[in-house]
Structure 1
């Protein structure tokens, strides 16, 4: 295998790096310069930031439920990507196994949705 097969990948990395450097270098010259107190304050999800007690305040359970839901669906995507890449080579057994996996995750999703775990109240 020759190194010429990697030229498009190196070119893409170079283009991405040049775009990143250009964006960072041009932002002070192009961006708006109207500063005010609201823009300089810390922002925490639409809630006024309050100092947390040193002993550690309690987080609501919904915070942890949302984090666990993210992990579940993130792991699902991690399993789906290699399966999709090698779909033709795996055959019908892998197809039905993935249908069962997606069905299981969908049942968990439906349960959480039904219980109100996705409500942001």
Structure 2
């Protein structure tokens, strides 16, 4: 029984160190800012900094479905690039079979793009 517990000791030590470091990286900057006096919230510090103007609607407002369609198409074609790079690097060693398989994959993606284009998924009003 002691040997089983000893096998878990490195994992428990790793978790303890990770928990201590993550807590330190979160808590220490907050403590230092409070102790050094840099934590003085005012209207300028609490103002909007990402878009430059105050929010004019509820943050839970619904988006148009076209936004999601464009996002899905972006993810699909981003994954295509992620598949193409390792395939292109290893093409010399894989032979004609992998080339034909990738061409079938690219044709399917091209057909999907043509379908989305024809349906107007890429149009924005």
TM > 0.5 fold call:
yes
Which one has more relative contact order, counting CA pairs under 8 Å at least 6 apart?
Answer: 1
State which of 80, 83, 94 in structure 2 corresponds to 1:79: 83
Matched residue, 2:67: 63
Alignment size in residue pairs: 77
Deviation at 1:120, TM superposition (A): 1.8
Runs of 4+ in 1 over 6 A off after TM superposition: none
User: Unmatched 5+ residue regions in structure 2?
Assistant: 1-48
The 5 Å alignment of 1:1-121 reads: 42=51, 50-53=55-58, 56-121=60-125
Deviation at 1:50, TM superposition (A): 4.8
- Following the alignment from structure 1 to structure 2, what is the Cα–Cα distance between the partners of residues 117 and 50? 28
User: Unmatched 5+ residue regions in structure 1?
Assistant: 1-39
Q: Deviation per CA, 1:15-74: give whole Å up to 9, x if none.
A: xxxxxxxxxxxxxxxxxxxxxxxxx9936xxxx8752215x1110000100110000000
Structure 2-normalised TM-score?
0.56
Deviation at 1:102, TM superposition (A): 0.3
